[in-house]
Structure 1
Amino acid sequence: MRSLIYCELLKLKNSKMVLISILGAMSTPFMMFIESLQTHFQHPERVITLTNVYDNSLLYMMLLSNMMIYVVITAYLFSREYIENTLKIILPIPISRTKLLLGKFITLFFLIVILNFVTWAGILILSGIYNSIFDMVGYNLLISIEWLFKYLVASILMYLTISPFAYIALKTKGFVAPVIASAVIVMGSAALSNQDFGALYPWTATFFLIKGKLQSTGYSITLGITIIAFVSIVGFLLTFNYFKKEDLK
């Protein structure tokens, strides 16, 4: 399994996907930095805290920019062999198809955790720059570590809702369909991020869970977790089932 994961990471490295993804994950910290500067100059009476910056970043990270990045990575991981026509070489290798997919899913999880960490660290660094110039209330390592834990939980929840895109990438054997699907999902997430009904939408439910406001929507936390788990399990089952039946052509 280690060899499979290493090979997947090597493929990503050679394609520059890792570097591009890291730059993409830094978009959220830069947006929060610009937002802090804009608030400072337009509303100098407002107090900017590190907690507020991290809290506001969840929308961009979980529903917008990072989500799109993770779908692109997923599409690349699960459709690369089809695009480059190397599946005929890989499938005859005496390794089960289940292990091949597990290697991809583990690699995907690893990357999501790393990129969420990059976003977290980017906010800490850019907020430190802001703090050194204008002063940011509550800027300290303890607060950032508390948010690191939330970011790690967010990584798990986002990973669970990514599995349907892996199936779409395998089924369509390309990038286009997963990216279009993610655009639709992101638009829906943005529209429902301030609506109670968003608790029933798995990609927004993850956001509500981390924000701690899912229960305030009138829906139970158990229901939100159940919906997320259902979408995740269906995505995994469809992906494994399809790949096991895939024929060499």
Structure 2
Amino acid sequence: MMLRMIKTEFEKLKRLHILLIGLIGMAFPAILSIFTQAVVTEEGKVENFDFSALFNSSIWNNVTIFMPVIFTLIGGYLINREYTDNTLKNILPVPVSFQRLLFGKLLAMGTLSVLFGFYSYTVTLIVGLFSGIPGLNAGVLFTGLLQMLGISLFTYIAVLPIIAVSSRKPGIFMGGVIAAFLFGYSAMFIKNVTMRSLYPILSGLTVMGFDTGTFMNTTEPGNLTLSIAALTVMLVLTAVLVMLAYPSQAASKSKKHKTAGMFLRPGQKGR
């Protein structure tokens, strides 16, 4: 049942322009990395900017700017469509609870987040090749792929509660996008090792062994145990939010009216 719901969400995505926005957005981290290296002053440039540095820069841009925004935007949009297209009232009377519907959409978005990670990895590789960046080898390719996929998933887990909260009412998912942007952007200014370990956006970097020293001027690595705990809390919090979630009042009324109409005699009007 859940696999069928996930497949259905992907079928819907193929017809939505929001997917194109995601693809364009996930191509920017690598381009921004090359552009920044080209225009920054000599003091600010990364020495020996090779493929390893390019992958690291692309991952950092993804985690702190693009992934939180894009994942929250598309995830919130998928849920909000059920309200705006007035399809929620047709789904709820059948044996699919609102909570189960949300779980299906969040799982679909989780799968999409990993695919976006692979897409961003591919774009980074292509941009690096066209830019003539040196230092490409099997080790760099494998490490870059593993970190990009893992960090994509962990970044999605970090913003899951925001998506879950923004699903409670129609039209508020854009507020969630703003919150996700601030959530990711604020990560750049967290220097304390304990805070870095506990801050969900940065926790995935610690779990994947990503070196933040170049970007945060820190030398002490994050605490792996604290980072895993932080991501686990995000998952548990999301599960609680989904279990306690109910459709908006308007959708509930539509469901009640449709159910009541099944018991009316011909010619009888509902109140």
Do they superpose with TM above 0.5? yes
Assess if the C-alpha contact under 8 Å between 2:150 and 2:204 holds in 1. Answer: no
| Aligned residue identity for 1:227 | A
Q: Among all aligned residue pairs of Structure 1 and Structure 2, give the percentage whose two residues are the same amino acid.
A: 23
| Aligned residue identity for 1:206 | G
Distance (whole Å) between structure 2 residues aligned to residue 92 and residue 45 of structure 1: 58
- C-alpha change, 1:170 and 1:22, in structure 2 (3 Å) is same
Correspondence for 2:70: 69
Summarize deviations over 1:138-197 as a string: whole Å, max 9, x none: 1234421221011121122112212212222222322232122213312322322x4433
Give the CA deviation at 1:217. 4.5
Correspondence for 2:197: 199
Query: Higher Cα Rg: structure 1 or 2?
Result: 2
Correspondence for 1:166: 163
Select the structure that is richer in helix: 1
Q: Alignment partner for residue 135 of structure 2, among 134, 138, 155?
A: 138
Assess if the C-alpha contact under 8 Å between 1:170 and 1:243 holds in 2. Answer: no
Give the TM-score, by structure 2 length.
Answer: 0.79
Question: Which segment drifts farther, 114-123 or 84-93?
Answer: 84-93
Give the CA deviation at 1:129. 0.7
- C-alpha change, 1:225 and 1:46, in structure 2 (3 Å) is closer
Give the CA deviation at 1:223. 1.5
Correspondence for 1:176: 174
Between the two proteins, the alignment pairs up a number of residues equal to 244
- C-alpha change, 1:232 and 1:46, in structure 2 (3 Å) is same
Distance (whole Å) between structure 2 residues aligned to residue 101 and residue 38 of structure 1: 44
Is 2:79 the partner of 1:78?
yes
Correspondence for 1:241: 244
Give the TM-score, by structure 1 length.
Answer: 0.85
- C-alpha change, 1:50 and 1:99, in structure 2 (3 Å) is same
Assess if the C-alpha contact under 8 Å between 1:87 and 1:248 holds in 2. Answer: no
Distance (whole Å) between structure 1 residues aligned to residue 46 and residue 180 of structure 2: 39
Is 2:7 the partner of 1:30?
no
| Aligned residue identity for 1:116 | G
Assess if the C-alpha contact under 8 Å between 1:74 and 1:165 holds in 2. Answer: no
Summarize deviations over 1:84-141 as a string: whole Å, max 9, x none: 322101111233444422321221011101111111111100100112xxxx331234
Distance (whole Å) between structure 1 residues aligned to residue 45 and residue 159 of structure 2: 40
Correspondence for 1:13: 14
Assess if the C-alpha contact under 8 Å between 2:157 and 2:231 holds in 1. Answer: yes
Correspondence for 2:121: 120
- C-alpha change, 1:152 and 1:40, in structure 2 (3 Å) is same
Assess if the C-alpha contact under 8 Å between 1:78 and 1:104 holds in 2. Answer: yes
| Aligned residue identity for 1:237 | V
Distance (whole Å) between structure 2 residues aligned to residue 173 and residue 78 of structure 1: 8
- C-alpha change, 1:146 and 1:4, in structure 2 (3 Å) is same
Give the CA deviation at 1:22. 0.6
Correspondence for 2:130: 129
Structure 1 runs not aligned, ≥5 long: none
| Aligned residue identity for 1:229 | T
Is 2:226 the partner of 1:223?
yes
Structure 2 runs not aligned, ≥5 long: 254-271
Question: Which segment drifts farther, 101-110 or 43-52?
Answer: 43-52
Distance (whole Å) between structure 1 residues aligned to residue 33 and residue 211 of structure 2: 21
Distance (whole Å) between structure 2 residues aligned to residue 56 and residue 19 of structure 1: 23
Correspondence for 1:155: 152
- C-alpha change, 1:105 and 1:36, in structure 2 (3 Å) is same
Correspondence for 1:2: 3
What RMSD over aligned residues (CA atoms) do the two structures have, in Å? 2.9
Give the CA deviation at 1:212. 4.8
Assess if the C-alpha contact under 8 Å between 2:169 and 2:247 holds in 1. Answer: no
